[in-house]
Structure 1
Amino acid sequence: MKPKENYSNRFRLTYGLAALAVGVTASGWGIAFAIMGAWPLVAMDVAVVFVAFLSLVLARRNQLSAALLFSQSAFLVIITTLCLIFDVPREAAPRVSHLFLLVLALLGYINYRREQSRPQLAIVALCVIAFVVFASTTAAPSFAQPIPETFQIYGSWVNTIVAVGLLCIGVYVMQLELARDLDKARAIKAALRNREFELFYQPQVDETGRLTGAEALLRWRRGDGTHVPPAEFIPAAEQAGLMPAIGEWVLTQACETLAAWRHDPATSGLKLAINVSADHFMKLDFVETVLDCLRTLEIDPALLKLELTESMMANDIDAISEKMRDLRTAGLFISLDDFGTGYSSLSHLRRLPVQEIKIDRSFVQDIVENRRNRVLLKSIFDMAHMLEFVVVAEGVETLEQLRLLRSFDCTAFQGYYFGRPVPLGEFQTRWTNDPVAPAALSA
């Protein structure tokens, strides 16, 4: 499932207005250059209008991330071409087109804060480098076709005003976005203090439908009773650096649950899985913290399952592998979550001491309709069995999906077909009385 883009409505509106302003300005210059017959310049303005229009279309379709990367890349090429060929500095009028590179760099930085990526970082760096080069030199290639001096004089004023105006708007938006992030971070810290977070438990079952464990999923219930979706507060917590603190709380709650389960024969052998963020896992004392919690509550380490996402593998793979080995040596169960959607490779599976891979729900959801997906999943299961991995199919919602997964010799399942995430008390009441999912019996 595609993650929801993390942009505020204010940011979307401002981006749309900026694209509209650039498009209108370029249209005006295009008409002026068409009247004087400067067709190469008209072509440049048409390109600017086209990029602005397409960016608006993408933004209206809630594809703002794609719109941002596209517009930045296209405008970087267009502005560089303008500066090299047309906007050649004279004594009467300086070059000004390069000022828009600062606008692109600022826009890119705002976007990078929302969704960090190497392409975005590269665009920001190229914009800054190009600005420095054009601001520091008056050289022009021999094939340059300078704008007529009269137009360049007036254009330097107009374009400078537009560029500075866009920069001011960008700074204002960035200030608002930073304030928005700060407000979210404060709310999350307050939620930790006020015990507004809670764990919901979703059952994990074997091929017969018998309960084998659960996954603990973080939920946030505000003081007024409203729920905040994890897709909203978890990205904000990651950006604010709060995931280690939240992870410590989840670890403690999970260990306390396992300690309570130990005294009931119906739950004493159940495994409990928790998700571990990259920031939390990479803390220097992570291994010691986990082991101390288990020792303090006298919990069998084999009952605690740590689910690590594939995206974590973009970090130091050697350090990650070493920590995994330490945890596995201590007896913990290590699972690779969201398998097939991140940075997985056969070399990672060979190097990492994982015992389980968890198939991402996006593969399971269309397994019935999509033949290619079925072939791919069958290959994953065959490979996992040869490497002696346990495979958990996540997101099982229908009987047809369950039957196909069983035909691949899948023996571990999780999804709405067996049970939704529920509070601890409800989970224990349901599964302690009957450890077999009724839905599975009809399969």
Structure 2
Amino acid sequence: MKPKENYSNRFRLIYGLASLAVGVTACGWGITFAVMGTWPLVALDLAVVCVALLSLALARSNRLSAALLFSQAAFLVIITLFCLVFDVPRAAAPRVSHLFLLVLALLGYINYRREQSRPQLAIVALCVIAFVVFASSTAAPSFARPIPETIQIYGSWVNTIVAVGLLCVGVYVMQLELARDLDKARAIKMALRNREFELFYQPQVDETGLLTGAEALLRWRRGDGTHVPPAEFIPAAEQAGLMPAIGDWVLAQACETLAAWRHDPATSGLKLAINVSADHFMKPDFVDTVLDCLRTLELDPALLKLELTESMMANDIDAISEKMRALRAAGLFISLDDFGTGYSSLSHLRRLPVQEIKIDRSFVQDIVESRRNRVLLKSIFDMAHVLEFAVVAEGVETLEQLGLLRSFGCKAFQGYYFGRPVPRGEFQSQWAELPVPPAARFA
């Protein structure tokens, strides 16, 4: 499943208007140069218009992240080319086109705060470097074809006004985005204080349909009864550095759940899985916090499963391995979540004391239609069997998906086909009465 892009509607609107403004400006210059018969400049302005229109189309189709990266890379090339060939500084008129590189750098920084990536960081760095070079040098290459001086004088005013205007818009957008993040961070802190968070529980079953445990999933219900989707508040909490506090709360609630379950024969042996963020796991006292929570309630450590995402492997692998070994030595169960999303490798799996891998739902959802996914999943199950890893397939929604997974040797499942996430009381009443799903589900 493709993650929801974390951009406000206001940001989308302003980006669309800015793309439209750039396209209109380029059209005006293109007409001017066409009248003068300067066709290379007409071609360059036409390229600007095409980039602006394509970026606008991508943004309108909810692919704003792709639109941002594409427009920045394309405009970086176009502006650099224009500065080298046409916008050559003179005594009567300075070079001004390089000012748009600052606009691109600011836009890239705003996008990097929303969705950090190396390509985005590289584009920002290249924009800044190119701006410094063009701002500090008056030399013109031998292949330069300067535009007429009268047009350059007039154009320097127009382009400077447009570039400064776009910079002001970019600063305004950044202010709005920062304010939005601060508002979300304050709301999340208030939610923790007011006990608005709760855990929902989704069943995990074995190949016979027997309930073996559940995954605890974080939900936020505001005081007015409305729910905030995790895709909205989790990224905001990560950016605000609030995941360790939320993680400690989840850990405490999960341990309380295990303490309550041990008094019911239908749930006393169930394992409970919780997701652990990278920031939470890397806290210096994380291991002690987990063990203290288990000791306080006298819980069996083997019943608590810690699900660590593959993205965590981008951090200090030695420190991660050391903490995992301490947790394993204490008896906890460790699972690698979202397996297949690109961060872990065979060398990581060899070094880390992982007992289970959890197949990312994106593979399961396409398993029926995609032969490539089926071959890939079969390879993952074969590898897991050789390395003696347990495997859980999440996101199972149909009987066809279940049948294919069972044919690959999968013995643990989770998904809407077996049950949706529900509050603890509802989960316990449902599965206490029906610990084994109807046999038809496994026909």
User: In which range does the TM-score fall when normalised by the shorter chain?
Assistant: over 0.9
User: How big is the alpha-carbon RMSD for the aligned residues of Structure 1 and Structure 2?
Assistant: 1.1
Which range moved further: 260-269 or 247-256? 260-269
Amino acid at match of 2:16: G
Q: Measure, in 2, the Cα distance between the counterparts of 1:176 and 1:414.
A: 40
After the TM superposition, list the runs of 4 or more consecutive aligned residues in structure 1 that deviate by more than 4 angstroms.
439-442
Report the alpha carbon displacement of residue 441 of structure 1 after superposing the two structures with TM: 5.5
1:113 maps to which residue?
113
2:182 maps to which residue?
182
Report the alpha carbon displacement of residue 440 of structure 1 after superposing the two structures with TM: 5.6
Whether contact under 8 Å (1:324, 1:352) holds in the other structure is: yes
Amino acid at match of 2:235: P
Residues 439 and 102 of structure 1: CA distance in aligned 2, closer, same or farther (over 3 Å): farther
2:53 maps to which residue?
53
Q: Measure, in 2, the Cα distance between the counterparts of 1:266 and 1:410.
A: 24
Amino acid at match of 2:119: P
Residues 188 and 439 of structure 1: CA distance in aligned 2, closer, same or farther (over 3 Å): farther
Q: Deviations over 1:265-314 (max 9, x none)?
A: 22221100000111111111111111111111111111110001111111
Residues 439 and 36 of structure 1: CA distance in aligned 2, closer, same or farther (over 3 Å): farther
Whether contact under 8 Å (2:208, 2:442) holds in the other structure is: no
Q: Measure, in 2, the Cα distance between the counterparts of 1:438 and 1:206.
A: 13
Question: Equivalent residue of 2:55, what SS?
Answer: helix
1:429 maps to which residue?
429
Q: Measure, in 1, the Cα distance between the counterparts of 2:121 and 2:169.
A: 21
Report the alpha carbon displacement of residue 342 of structure 1 after superposing the two structures with TM: 3.0
2:361 maps to which residue?
361
Report the alpha carbon displacement of residue 442 of structure 1 after superposing the two structures with TM: 4.7
2:314 maps to which residue?
314
Percent identity for Structure 1 against Structure 2: 90
- Kindly report which structure 2 residues correspond to 1:141-160, keeping only aligned pairs within 5 A, or say none: 141-160=141-160
Q: Measure, in 2, the Cα distance between the counterparts of 1:146 and 1:248.
A: 63
Q: Measure, in 2, the Cα distance between the counterparts of 1:137 and 1:439.
A: 77
Whether contact under 8 Å (1:271, 1:304) holds in the other structure is: yes
Report the alpha carbon displacement of residue 344 of structure 1 after superposing the two structures with TM: 2.3
Report the alpha carbon displacement of residue 384 of structure 1 after superposing the two structures with TM: 0.4
How many residue pairs get matched? 443
Q: Measure, in 2, the Cα distance between the counterparts of 1:160 and 1:351.
A: 56
Amino acid at match of 1:266: A
Report the alpha carbon displacement of residue 366 of structure 1 after superposing the two structures with TM: 2.1
Report the alpha carbon displacement of residue 433 of structure 1 after superposing the two structures with TM: 2.1
Q: Measure, in 1, the Cα distance between the counterparts of 2:379 and 2:195.
A: 44
2:139 maps to which residue?
139
2:206 maps to which residue?
206
Whether contact under 8 Å (1:309, 1:336) holds in the other structure is: yes
Whether contact under 8 Å (1:208, 1:440) holds in the other structure is: no
1:194 maps to which residue?
194
- Kindly report which structure 2 residues correspond to 1:38-437, keeping only aligned pairs within 5 A, or say none: 38-437=38-437
2:17 maps to which residue?
17
Amino acid at match of 1:328: R
Q: Tell me the TM-score normalized by structure 1.
A: 0.98
Whether contact under 8 Å (2:334, 2:356) holds in the other structure is: yes
Whether contact under 8 Å (2:209, 2:442) holds in the other structure is: no
Q: Measure, in 2, the Cα distance between the counterparts of 1:163 and 1:29.
A: 15
Report the alpha carbon displacement of residue 264 of structure 1 after superposing the two structures with TM: 2.4
Residues 297 and 180 of structure 1: CA distance in aligned 2, closer, same or farther (over 3 Å): same
Residues 114 and 440 of structure 1: CA distance in aligned 2, closer, same or farther (over 3 Å): farther
5+ residue gaps, structure 2, are none
Whether contact under 8 Å (1:418, 1:440) holds in the other structure is: no
Q: Measure, in 1, the Cα distance between the counterparts of 2:399 and 2:42.
A: 61
Amino acid at match of 2:420: R
Report the alpha carbon displacement of residue 32 of structure 1 after superposing the two structures with TM: 0.9
Q: Measure, in 1, the Cα distance between the counterparts of 2:332 and 2:93.
A: 70
Whether contact under 8 Å (2:399, 2:441) holds in the other structure is: no
Report the alpha carbon displacement of residue 202 of structure 1 after superposing the two structures with TM: 0.5
Whether contact under 8 Å (1:209, 1:440) holds in the other structure is: no
5+ residue gaps, structure 1, are none
Whether contact under 8 Å (1:198, 1:218) holds in the other structure is: yes
